[in-house]
Structure 1
Amino acid sequence: MNTTPLTPLGPLATPVFAADDVVVIGTSTGGIDALRIVLGGLPLQFPAAVLVVMHIGSHDSILPSLLAGATQLPVRHARDGDILEPGRVLVAPPDRHLLLQRDGDRARVALAHGPRENHARPAIDPLFRSAAAAFGARATAVILTGMLDDGTAGLQAIKECGGKAVVQLPEDAFAADMPASALRHVEVDHVLRLPQIAAMLDRIVGDSLVAARNAPRQVPDWIRLENRFAAGSADMDSLAKFGTPSTFTCPECHGSLWELHGLVPRRYRCHTGHAYTEKVLADHQCQAVEESLWAALRALQEKERLLRQMADEAIASGHAGTAVDYVEQAAQAQRSGEVLRRLLTAAQDGTDTFVKQP
């Protein structure tokens, strides 16, 4: 461990020691209980910094307080400029990507309101990629329970830079998607049940070799470029270096999506920076289609009511022929609406993939 005291930001701050090792943890659905078990198993003198991303979106979060009661380690939301300290847990705050940046021989937190990845901010991939670049072989990444496949690409970055990958056993997870995707696409070092993960992390960090500590960080270009996008500092020229235009458009900004080279699962990014795996993209498009159909159904229902009202007014004014036209148009709107409603409710018997009506 680095024994040179450092002074964090703030005039009255007490000296801290920079962490040589980092553990980054990503989770989503079912993640609170999983995090409490993993963090609760770490010893008080855990020699690595611990950073956590859970999909919380832009809503106010009390996640640090929920975790603090389960662990001996101090837990709080990360702040921009924080120095990473061993035995401290920093949690991604709402609506900010949690990134790491090198500052000489130490690493600092950088919070970024960059583009969403896999429709999430904070997202797991940006943290993992930045940890890979900042710590190389001294980074260990953990994927816990969660839906879809955020974290898989970040785990690939960890492995490419020499770090370790630990994944929760899918059968042990509340939601198996994220662990299963990681195992399908990444050469994982350890697959464990929740109660086993803390001891393994302690062992991995404890076994860290001097050779690994002093090894140069060979960071592939694609990781550097992706990190720039997460920080909001990349552009279309950067995207052209590791992607080719696809036929798809971004669900969020409606710009063209570029397919990124050499990554599995297949990933897409637009020039403003939004990024998706193909699985997340398909899920998002499905939701967009459903929302559009519900909006169309509401419009048809309103059209029917308006036309029937106009027919009543035409009859009252003595324009029976006009009233008949309005009634026929209203009946057509009603029939169209019934077709849409049958399509939307087909999900209830498993014949479609739409989610519940908002």
Structure 2
Amino acid sequence: MKMIGFHTPELPDPLGLDLAKLHGGGSCPSEFYGETHDGLDVYVRYRGGTLRVHVAHEPGDDALDDGECILEAEIGPPFDGTMSLTQFCTNFGVTVEGGIPEETDPEAHLYANLTGQTTFWKVHLHRITIETSRKIVDKARSAFPNALLVKPIYVKPEPHEGLVLDRVELTTPEKLDTASVYLIDGPSLLTDIEVSPGEGILPKSGQLQISASFSSWQYSLEHHMALLPMAEKELGQTFYVPGKQKDLPKEIELITDSLNMSASFTKDDETTRGKLASLGEAISQLIPPTNLERIELETGNRIDYIDRPIDPVVVEWCKSGQNRWISIMRENRNGPWIGVRPTKR
């Protein structure tokens, strides 16, 4: 999967399927369960931008395990997984008792527009340091110099209630202290940005919203590294990898996290597309391809070389001490332990 890219949905031909019943919902995945007029089970799943529709072969069969996949299509942007039942029926040619069900999902208007009229821009970067994440946000601000960089401020109205958005405040890349920020191009004042306590920052005509999320701006998270202690126990060695590890000395620790950015715009807006493409190139330059070696840890033998975009701060950290690796992994359950690190050549 590309770490930076555009996606404009292309809807497949309508299924032309009328069902006796259909229900469901949810998010990541959205799942719907139905039945044809001749008693065949139907299962629909939307996750990671991919939609699948399964129909059972015989009455009583499970549609997923014993049925046929009549539609599999990459529809939405990467990591998207929310769709209402009405949106599914409308976009993919499905009816229930001859009609399109009325929309009952109060948040349906917030879901990704998959009709093909909207283009989505996504950035998903692994093992990014706080230092580099701030540089990336600064690149975004430089690409859209008139945009406002804002952070959402949440409050809890009542002790037993959840957090709701109260307002947005201006911030800078150097002062990021919330898990997500928004670069909004179009407004000149904070009062030009519309917010809703329950729905967040609202889309508005003439405004481009670029979201950037990076949990470690706000939270000191301990990363789940289940494989690392297993490798150390089996091999009798100590390994260090980027991320907040339990009881790791501060002089060795290097905090990394995933950085996600996204924006959407009308597919015919070539000006916005061009600016986002230039921003993507600028981000790529901050995380250049790095030559890595894969080592079988038990024997110390080199397996091969690979090139991957890696945060330069991570590269320097790996090279500055012993037993420092970008990742420790095994390719299958009983396979050898493999370490990945920058080459020293």
Q: Indicate the TM-score class for this superposition, using the shorter chain for normalisation.
A: under 0.3
Larger Rg: 1
Larger helix percent: 1
TM-score by length of structure 1 reads: 0.25
- Name the structure where strand makes up a greater proportion of residues: 2
Q: TM-score, normalised by structure 2?
A: 0.26
